Amino acid sequence: MNGPAAAHVEGALFGRAGLADHAPVLVIGLGTMGLPIAQRLRAAGVPVWGMDSRPELHDALPGARVLTSGPLRDAVHASRAATVIICVSDEAALQRLWQAPGGLHEALVPGICVVDHTTTSVPAALQFAAEAAQAGAMWVDAPLSGATAGARAGTLSAMLGGEPEAVEHVRPLLSAYCATLTHLGPAGAGQAGKLTNQIAIAGINAGLLAATGFAALQGLDIARCFDAMAAGSAHSVQMAQHRAALTRAPADSTLFDWLRRDLALVLEHLPVDEAAATRGASQALHDRLHALNRMLLDGTAAPPLL
């Protein structure tokens, strides 16, 4: 495999059973995740179309067509896609994609399957799945963990919510870029699983920020300190992913904005009308999540995390 498409695709999947004859796939959003996902699907022999509003991405997929203008409805029809894979930045972007004139809500036809890799709220996933079902289409919420490097290497973990037949329908496709596919339940369950994942990594990243601040106060060489930690029990995927930014001066104050946005979604999901016996536990979780958000913003926390 030669040329630009090969440059960022590791472990090409030529010959993967069932994919060489797969119906066309439309990938919407060719950003840091969508582009390597589309490249891996191309490498597996899948007929791929791309769609992105940025004109400079017109030639992002050599050998495939990338649309940079026009209604999404027309892109779905022109590509004759059986599956639409969405990789946009957040829930607001997904809502715009859905509601725009000629948007996704007008493109759904019986039998088409939409796979949404965006991290959204659970209610949003339920809304999209219900409206897709009314059109006779399938919807799978499939948020991802593993970042751009995982997309390029095909080692992503996908948390899936949707009907079993829909999940099985897209499993071969997703296996081209995911090493782990976990069906957590009906629509919305994938998003609930992703938010659970974000709570876990928020704790790790808040700890890394606090450790960086403490090392600086002690006058330590932060890069060498990270070398020592990475060789011991503090090593983690998050450390490997963010250590370059954490040890750079001046520190990037926006480094974890994406994670703080996800924690805000988590807070929206905490129940507000539960019995008093349960409310205490919910309040404790609420306080810990706010503390994590504070630590990810400026390295401080109140009330205590633990």
pLDDT digits 0-9 by tens, 2-49 = 333 333 333 333 334 457 678 999 999 999 999 999 999 999 999 999
Q: How far apart are CA 120 and CA 141, in angstroms?
A: 9
Positive or negative CA dihedral for 41, 47, 50, 55?
A: positive
pLDDT at position 288 is: 72
CB 76 within 8 A of CB 107: yes
Q: How far apart are CA 119 and CA 217, in angstroms?
A: 36
Based on its alpha-carbon atoms, the radius of gyration of the chain, rounded to whole angstroms, reads: 21
pLDDT digits 0-9 by tens, 92-107 = 999 999 999 999 999 9
pLDDT band at 265 (very low <50, low <70, confident <90, very high): confident
Greatest Cα pair distance in the chain: 63
Judged by DSSP in three states, 99 sits in helix
pLDDT band at 263 (very low <50, low <70, confident <90, very high): confident
pLDDT digits 0-9 by tens, 104-157 = 999 999 999 999 999 999 999 999 999 999 999 999 999 999 999 999 999 999
pLDDT digits 0-9 by tens, 188-233 = 999 999 999 999 998 898 889 888 888 988 999 999 999 999 999 9
pLDDT at position 6 is: 33
Whose tokens are 């006058």? That residue is 219
Q: pTM to 2 decimals?
A: 0.83
Q: How far apart are CA 264 and CA 272, in angstroms?
A: 15
Which phi and psi angles does 157 have, rounded to 5°?
Answer: -110, 125
